[in-house]
Each structure stands twice: as C-alpha cells, then as structure tokens.
Chains A and B, each alone.
Chain A
Amino acid sequence: MARINTSRSRLRSFTARRPKRGALVIAAALSMSAFTAEIAAAPMQNPKGGHSIADTGFTWPTVEQTVRVLTLRDYNTRIVVMGVTCLGLASGTVGTFLLLRKRSLTADALSHAALPGIGLAFITLVLLGQDGKHLPGLLAGAFIAGCLGVGCILIIRHTTRLKDDAALGIVLSVSFGLGVVLLTIIQQMPVGGQAGLQRFVIGRAASMGARDAWVILICAAAVIVVCAALFKELQLLCFDQGYAGAQGWPVIRLDVILMALVTMVTVIALQSVGLVLAVAMLIIPAAAARFWTDQLMRMTLTAALIGMVSGYLGAVISALQPRMPTGPVIVLVCAAGFGVSMVAGIRRGMVVRVWRHWQLNNRVAMQHLLRAMFEQYESGTTPDRAFDGARMIQPRRIKVQFDKLLPKRSWTAAELRGIAATAVRRGLIHRNDDNSLSLTDAGGAQARRVVRNHRLWETYLIHYADIAPSHVDRDADQIEHVLGRDMVDRLERLLSEQLPPRTVPPSPHGA
C-alpha cells in the first residue's frame, strides 16, 4: 500500500523527518525537534505548513525494528496485537454463523442503529445535569439501541415476508435518520461538548488500551463458550431452520442468543477498533473459510484462525511502517486472505472448481469417444466378425477410421484428436499403423460399461419417466457419467424383464 504515493510527494518529503530505523527512539526525537526548529526559525514565510506532513517514502524496516515488533517489545504493540487477535477469534467464530444465516451486514446495521442511542444517552445525561460525554453512559445508550435494533430486525424477519437484507436495511436507514435528527437537535442544546459526539464512542485499533484488550478477551471467551455449548443447535439453525422448528427447537430463542452474541461483539469492537474493522472481521474471515471446507466445525475454526492471523499480521505491518492505520491494514490483510482463499481454497476455490470442471469435461469427452467407437463396432460397417454382439473378443482386430468418428458427435477434428491422444496414453485405445483406431482390451471393457450405463438409463427414462425417445439421448449423456455401480444394478433389476443380464442392451433408438 505504501507504494501508492506519488513520486512527487516522495521528492518533497522532508529528509529531516525520515528517521534512521536503527536508533529509532533518538532519531525520531531528533528529527522531530530538528524539523520544528526549522519551522520555528522561519515562522512567517514558511508556507510548507504541517510539520507532520508525511514522509511518504517507503523504506524497509531494519532487522532490529522487525525483531522489536515481532517480539512485541512495545507496550502498545502488545496490547493491540492481543486485542485484535482475540477480536479475530471472536468475530470469526460468530461471523461463520452470521454468514450462513445471510446476515453478514448486521454489524454495519448495528453501527448505525447505535447512533440514536448515543444521542438519547447524551440528552439524558445532560438533562440529569451530568457531563454529556460520559463514555460508559454513551456506550450503554449505544448498546441498548443496538439491542433494540436487533430486536426490530428479528421482528421484521419473523413477522413479515421481507428477507434479512431488507430487515437490516430498514433498521439501518431509519435509525441512521433518527440519529441524525437527534444529533442536529443536540447541536442546538445550550451545552458544550457536542462536537464529535457521532464518533466519540468509535475507537481506533491503534489506540486500544489495556482495558479494551481485556474486554475483548473476555468477550472472545464468552463467544467460544456459548458457541461450543450450543454448537449443534446453532448448526441446525443455520442449515435448516424449518427442520429445527419442526423438531421443536426453540428457533427464535436460539436466533436471539446468536444475535445477542453478535451485538456484544459488534459494540465491543466498535468502541475499541472502529467501524470498518468491526464490520470486516465479522464478514471476511467467515466468507474466506467457506472456500476451504463444507463442514461447519472446520469452517468455524478456519474463520477464527483467519481472523486471528490477519489481526496479528495487520497489527505487525502497521507497527513496521509509518502512517499505516492499523484497522484498515488489518482489513486489507483479511481481504488478501479472502482473495487467496477465493482462488486457492480446496473446497470451493476457483482453481479447484475450474479443475473439477475440466476433469469432468475430460471424463465426459473420453466416454463420448469410447461410446462412439463402440457404436462404430456395432454398426456393422466393419465386416470383421470379431465383434460378437455384445461381447468383446479381441477388439483390437477391428479398426475404426478416424473420419468415421467425426460425424458421431459435435466435436472438431482437433478436439477429437486430442481426446484420442489422451485415450491412447491411458491405454484405452490403440492407434494402428494406418492411423485408424482400435479399442484395447481395457478400452473395450470400459466402452462396454459406458454404453451399457447409457442405454440402461435411456431405457429407464423412456419407460419410467415418459420422455419422448427423441429427447432421451441428450439427457442420458448428461446423467450416465455420474451413474454409480449400485444405481446401474438397481436399473438392471428394474429393467430385468426386458434385458438379459450382463449384456449391452440394444439402443432404444433402434439399430
């Protein structure tokens, strides 16, 4: 990210502000005093302004600096790393359930829903003659408003046909509006201290204190205990709410417990690390974990791990480079983790999906080739008697010309050649000297199986599914490739009156 700066800004940057990382402490102090001296010396003509204007160049941190950060020698680094790691753990865990409930944006809605609560808390405090900017008071207001917001979301969700996103959106926008209405009124109140009220309870990751970190730690522990205790219930809630309800699970109560956890995590995250990180940590790790596994327990653990690792890495990066806001950097690390997972995740990642698709295509094409060969053997255009009805005796003695295969399916010559080459490599097909093709023994056996499945299925569809024979071939093609052994056996049993066992039935289209 640091490279985004314009080269111009790098040229203009103050050399005096760029401390040598080696002796960081003294250098930083010296450079700052040197710089201020520069300003103080020319008070009226220095138009350059802001002394802390970035030295926006990128320098690699020294080994010493890196060691200092990685061993968490600085107090603030220690606190922040601990806080964001625990937050990653808690958010990743809860976020998994939220993602599966399609309520990922709850944190965002809550952050807006808290606004009227803050406003009302301020008004109440002022009316009680207190200082309006009393942090615990404002936080209590935010928490109560958040709970009410969640209550509204649940009510809308359970009593109307609106979906979760609309329920979130309604609560978000209306309470945002109400919050602004209240803040505008607060601005007219004859007391001081209204400025910045909107963001007063919103923390920044880098300025986390020990108390924040402890609160997050306790919150993470609570989340883990509750999720572990109610894992099975929550799992059912996420995957099959209807079934859970029918089985007599207290669906609404479980939903309330889950949302209470979310509210707790969100409010705590909002006041300690700020909006963007609070929202991102609940969504991104869980969404990334989805690419790695289909199993809920593993997904929860993966999400928690991704959350923790990105929290740690982001905090470390922001401690190694100047002017790297901690919260956003953690979000970017998280996003990078999501990108990697999206591409490389072993369950639903893009690579795996492309690979699976490619494999399936390959298998389908191979079966098409074998079937085309088989049909060619069958069609009697080959005068040789080696092909004995459904039995394969010495299939090698039959030769199929390449251009006979070409019209069998809608493949180009190049495609066909490619598939044939693969089949030759796998020992299913033998290429004769005159460039014609023959099935090998193994290929013959496999071709028999493929054609048999295909025709069984075709017959089944014609007899049992009322599909017009002219449409059958296409459907059978799609399904035969996934037919398992037992399914074939069952079909055989079903169709046994028509077919002698263990043979390739004739094509239902007629010879």
Chain B
Amino acid sequence: MSTRRPRCFVRPPARLCGCALLAALVFSTGCGEDESSATAPSGAAAALLQYPYTIVTTTGMVTDIVRQVASDKATVIGLLGEGVDPHLYKPTRADVAKIINADLIFYSGLMLEGRMSDTFTKAGNRGSKVYPVTQIIDEKYLLEPPDFRGHWDPHVWMDVSAWSQCVQVVADALGDFDPSNATTYQANATVYVAKLDGLHAYVTKVIASIPEQQRVLITAHDAFNYFSRAYGIRVMGVQGISTESEAGLDDINRIVDFIVSDQISAVFVESSVSDKNVKALIEGADAQGHAATIGGELFSDAMGAPRTYEGTYMGMLDHNATTIARALGGKAPPRGMNGKLSGKSH
C-alpha cells in the first residue's frame, strides 16, 4: 500500500532548454543523476515559496477540492477538462510540461486514471509531491468485486460523505508544503466540508423523498454503486464499468421486465455513454405497455460544461440528485439545492 501514503519529498525544478538533439541527449544523462541527489526537506522549499505556487490535478472533482482549499494561494491546473473521460485520459506534451513544473500533484487514485496513475506513482517515487486523494478512505469502505480484492470501484465521488473525507488529504498536504498557511488551509477545508455536508444532507433528503417502490436508478453503465449505497437507492447499470463492456440480450430483457413489473417511471442516460441502451430499455418497456421516460442526463465520469454550476463537483451531484428525484416522483426544487441549476432537461 505504499502508493497510498503521502509523499514528502521535493522535486527540484527541471528547467532544461537544450534544443539540439545530440546536445540534449548528452545533457539528459547528467540531469537524471543530480535529480535524485537533490531531495530537500519540505521546510526549505516552504521558505523559498513564491505565491501563487502551482498545483496540478486530474479530474474536475479533485480540482474542485483543491481550488476550494488552496483558494488564492495556488494556481490550480486541472489536466482533465470537465467533459473528459478519466478512464481513457492520455496526457499531451503540454500536460507533461505542467506536471513537470507543478509543485504539487493531486489525482483521484484507485486506477481511475488508468496508466496515468502508474506515471504519477513513479513521479512520486522520484521525489515529486504526489497525492492520490482517495488514500484516506478506509479500504473497508471501498467497494470491490468479490473475486478481485483490491480492484476497487473508483467512482467514490458519487458518495458525497466519502468524497468529503478526501478534502482532509488536500488540506494536510498543502499544510505540509506551506506550513505558514496551514491554518488557512484547514479553515478552508472545514468550510468546504461543511458545504459538502449540506450537499450530502440534500441528496439524502431528495432521494429519500422518492416513493420506496420507485427508488431504482437504471443507468447506462455501472458508475453509481457508491451513490446507491450512500443514499439507499437501488442501481442497475446496463453495461459494466469498462468502456469496452457490452450488455447481452438477456441482461436487457431482464431490466425491461423489471421496469415493467415494478412500474419504474424513468431511466437515465449518462453524459459520457451512448444513450442507445437506455433507449432500448424504454422501447422494450413500451412494447409491454409500460411507458417509461428518460429521466434526464446524469454526470457520471465527467462533469457538466466548464464555468457553469454543473461544471463543479457540487453542481454535478446536485444535478444528479435533483434530476433523479424529480424524474422518479420525489420532491426536489426544480433548480436544485441552491437554485443554481440551469434547469435544462436533457
């Protein structure tokens, strides 16, 4: 579990601008060596710290936490835009440059970022300050397939109470890096956690307002297991967790039968998955005389458009909970918890 422990080394700045191929080649071997020798204790770095320092994050959910906690002390660069599928993310050269120049790196962890997790781990091993934010969550709490222990379901952010634990990781890490502002970070974290607690309460409330019989979330793929457990709503995904996963006819038929027998009124599409299998469910139910509708578009792996409320973690969860509750006959305000949702029905 070494990869889930915080790293406390400082990576020296690698400012290299050799252009000629050969010269750079020769140069590079030398550079690799002085890199490993120059690990300094964190305090020294803090003394020289210039504000705002640079933090690189991966998914929008992680970016949000870091933005809230660091406030104006750091420039936070999210590598994955709000609408990017983290499973398949591959960095560009510009991203690599950002990672190299970053003072701190936060990523989600649990293999959400695929091979990039591996890259981050290696970067951590070589002295960069790299933190997977999910490291704080108790392993017992994480969902894993019974056959394959340790291969946790990475969609932790679907449970607000679990995700709010990750805020502490960020606050502690920033405090270590910049001890002079540690209290600010802790205070920011407390504020954000309080907001998240409010969100958690809201989601719990609106989901609970759905009639017992209707409390079933049928979606395109399996990303809502934490949501299910945290808010007491059954979930059924048509296809598995991987993008290559594909459903069979029997799976579709069973869900259709279930929709009809339990008179489920709405099913949901996801922004990052084709809506076809969900539409097939509706057609199937319709053929049996039960009219189900598409309850709306949920954000699972990716968030809404940038610079909108849905493009933030809170907006995303608010949108999901509100959409689900309203479509399944629960009570929720049309514009969500804070009245900030655009109210666009997809």
Which chain A residues have a beta carbon within 8 Å of chain B's beta carbons? 6, 8-9, 12, 24-26, 28-29, 32-33, 36, 39-40, 43-53, 74-77, 79-80, 184, 187-196, 198-210, 274, 315, 318-329
A324, B248: Cβ atoms closer than 8 Å: yes
Looking at the complex, which one of A47, A184, A192, A204 makes contact with B83 (CB distance below 8 Å)? A192
Listed from nearest, the 5 A-B pairs whose CB atoms lie closest are A49-B143, A75-B287, A192-B305, A207-B277, A195-B272
Q: A50-B143, A315-B249, A322-B251 are in contact. Are A194 and B83 (CB under 8 A)?
A: yes
A318, B228: Cβ atoms closer than 8 Å: no
A47, B144: Cβ atoms closer than 8 Å: yes
Check B229 for interface membership: any CB of A closer than 8 A: yes
A-B CB contacts (within 8 Å), total count: 210
Looking at the complex, which one of B90, B246, B262, B308 makes contact with A325 (CB distance below 8 Å)? B246
Looking at the complex, which one of A36, A193, A203, A327 makes contact with B234 (CB distance below 8 Å)? A36
Most buried by B among A79, A195, A196, A315: A195
Closest B residue, CB atoms, query A276:
B246
Q: A79-B283, A274-B246, A318-B248 are in contact. Are A192 and B228 (CB under 8 A)?
A: no
**Chain A residues closer than 8 Å to B113, beta-carbon distance:** none
B143, A47: Cβ atoms closer than 8 Å: yes
A321, B83: Cβ atoms closer than 8 Å: no
Which of B21-29, B128-136, B236-244, B324-332 forms part of the interface with chain A?
A: B236-244
Interface range, B side: 35 or more
B83, A208: Cβ atoms closer than 8 Å: no
**Chain A residues closer than 8 Å to B83, beta-carbon distance:** 187, 191-195
Looking at the complex, which one of B238, B249, B276, B283 makes contact with A210 (CB distance below 8 Å)? B283
Closest B residue, CB atoms, query A24:
B257
A119 to B140, CA, bound (A): 42
Give chain B nearest CB distance to A41 CB in angstroms.
10
Check B109 for interface membership: any CB of A closer than 8 A: no
Check B232 for interface membership: any CB of A closer than 8 A: yes
**Chain A residues closer than 8 Å to B303, beta-carbon distance:** 192
Check B301 for interface membership: any CB of A closer than 8 A: yes
B248, A326: Cβ atoms closer than 8 Å: yes
**Chain A residues closer than 8 Å to B181, beta-carbon distance:** none
Give chain A nearest CB distance to B31 CB in angstroms.
28
A12, B147: Cβ atoms closer than 8 Å: yes
B252, A76: Cβ atoms closer than 8 Å: yes
Check B50 for interface membership: any CB of A closer than 8 A: no
Q: A52-B236, A323-B250 are in contact. Are A188 and B143 (CB under 8 A)?
A: no
Closest B residue, CB atoms, query A193:
B83
Kindly identify, within residues 287 to 303 of chain B, every residue whose CB is under 8 Å from any CB belonging to chain A. 287-288, 301-303
**Chain A residues closer than 8 Å to B301, beta-carbon distance:** 195-196
Closest A residue, CB atoms, query B245:
A325
Check B123 for interface membership: any CB of A closer than 8 A: no
A49, B249: Cβ atoms closer than 8 Å: no
A325 to B240, CA, bound (A): 11
A76, B280: Cβ atoms closer than 8 Å: yes
B147, A196: Cβ atoms closer than 8 Å: no
B250, A324: Cβ atoms closer than 8 Å: yes
**10 A-B contacts (beta carbon < 8 Å):** A32-B236, A47-B140, A47-B143, A76-B249, A79-B283, A191-B306, A195-B85, A203-B276, A206-B277, A320-B250
Check B230 for interface membership: any CB of A closer than 8 A: yes
B84, A194: Cβ atoms closer than 8 Å: yes
**Chain B residues closer than 8 Å to A32, beta-carbon distance:** 234, 236, 258
Check B180 for interface membership: any CB of A closer than 8 A: no
B271, A193: Cβ atoms closer than 8 Å: yes
**Chain A residues closer than 8 Å to B85, beta-carbon distance:** 195-196
